Amino acid sequence: MKLNIVRPFLPNISEIQDSFGECLANGMVTNNSAHVRLFEENLQHYFQSKHKPLVFNNGEMALFHLIQAWKYKLGASSHEHFGVLVPSFTFSGTINAIVSNNLKPVFCDINETLTIDITKVSSEFLKENDVKICLAVGVYGNLPDIELLEVFCIKNGLILLFDNAPAFASTFKGKFPNHYGFDEIYSFHATKIYNSMEGGAAIVHDEETYQILSRLREFGQFEKVRGDVDIPGLNSKMQEISAIVGNKNLEKIDFILDNRKQNIDKYKPFFSDLETKGFIRNMKVLSEVFCPYLYYPIILHEEATQFVKYMEENEIAVRRYYTACHSLTCYKGKYAESSLSFTESIKDNIVSLPIHTIMNQEEIDYLFNTISKYFKS
């Protein structure tokens, strides 16, 4: 049996061909056309957000522009380099979006939830590094304690933003992160639990940020006659085909989440048992958090190379994901770091296992049996 790392959840061609056929026939394939506008309405209904989510061509551009919008709101010139507190343990895209805005990532640690740990970050450290934004990341769909993070950000005068690219549908105390009053982004990439093939969205709170972001994704244009621009935006509009797929998949979000919950309920006891027997450690999920598990991370007690090789030999694809970005070639030694002791202790030992929306019992049994054999448990 072969298990891929992801199995994108996509509609059948018959479910989308009429809509896409119409777009091709009338030439309205992009530029904020009907399906994109409907997608934003449907997402607003799903998130019950104050403003319509703004959709983008991908999650990274949504994040890049969200940071750019805040930089502008904070009155910083495009050449100013203030600090953005961010966990090192994330996807390179998080850090690239900061650096591409000419800002400085200021790396901090994570805790057992694998999300940001602010307990090791002092006010002096933030001041020394001129930190103005705190960017939390919902790795694997997990969330930190949002209320604690809010207190920390208020105390230190930081703007709190969320890179929730992997955390569609995740909640804290039953509410989406944007209900706590913070701006966030999502990715709708094909690998995500909910997808539009490529795509992303930013959900923001005030009218000003909303207007800035609407302009940024269209080159920064504030008027269309001459195409005059007031901030240098980059074209990051979503195409109609993605919105059509996004709308279709959103109709099935309950089905997606129900399936994932059933699979998570099977994974959890198996991996808790391995933890009790001392073979691995699991990611902690706070009791207030709903995590839909984009991948199922396990932390080995040793470096993961041998385990990864064994899984590959058994045709189960795994990923060494997420990663410690402060050690990536492009970022190594270049930016300030607070204590990264937890990140350092897990970065070479963590492995993401597949957990698909559609997965039959035979596949789950194969995964569990293969892992049991490895640990001889």
Ligand X SMILES: Cc1ncc(COP(=O)(O)O)c(C=O)c1O
Q: Which residues sit at the interface with ligand X, rule CB under 6 A?
A: 58-60, 63, 90-91, 93-94, 137, 163, 165-166, 187, 189, 200
Instruction: Give the nearer residue to ligand X in terms of CB position, either 63 or 371.
Output: 63
Residue 12 amino acid letter: N
Distance separating alpha carbons of residues 77 and 81, to the nearest angstrom? 9
CB-side neighbour CA atoms (13 Å) of 209: 27
- Enumerate residues 6+ apart whose C-beta is below 8 A from 356: 6, 7, 263, 363
Shortest approach of ligand X to residue 227 CB, angstroms?
26
Nearer to ligand X, 86 or 300 (CB): 86
Residue 134, C-beta contacts closer than 8 angstroms, at least 6 positions apart: 84, 85, 86, 116, 118, 149, 152, 153, 156, 158, 159, 160, 161
By beta-carbon proximity to ligand X, the closer residue of 93 and 297 is 93
Q: What are phi and psi of 69, to 5 degrees?
A: -65, -40
**Smallest gap, in angstroms, from Cβ of residue 199 to ligand X?**
7
Report the residue number, 266 or 319, with the smaller CB distance to ligand X: 319
Nearer to ligand X, 63 or 212 (CB): 63
Minimum distance of ligand X from residue 159's CB (angstroms): 18
Closest CB to ligand X among residues 59, 233:
59
CB of 308 to ligand X, least distance (A): 19
Q: How far apart are CA 240 and CA 34, in angstroms?
A: 8
CB of 26 to ligand X, least distance (A): 28
- What is the smallest separation between the CB atom of 187 and ligand X, expressed in angstroms? 3
Q: Which pairing describes strands 159-163 and 131-137: parallel, antiparallel, or unpaired?
A: parallel
Q: How many CB atoms lie within 10 A of CB 188?
A: 31
Least distance in angstroms from the C-beta of 137 to ligand X: 5
Rounded to whole angstroms, how far apart are CA atoms 83 and 261?
A: 38
Shortest Cβ distance from residue 186 to ligand X (Å)? 8
Record the tokens describing residue 377, joined without a space: 């448990």
The closest residue (CB) to ligand X is: 59
- CB closer to ligand X out of 139 and 371: 139
C-alpha span between 345 and 334 (Å, rounded)? 21
214 touches 229 (CB < 8 A): no
What's the full length of the chain, in residues?
Answer: 377
Which is nearer to ligand X, 145 or 163 (by Cβ)?
163
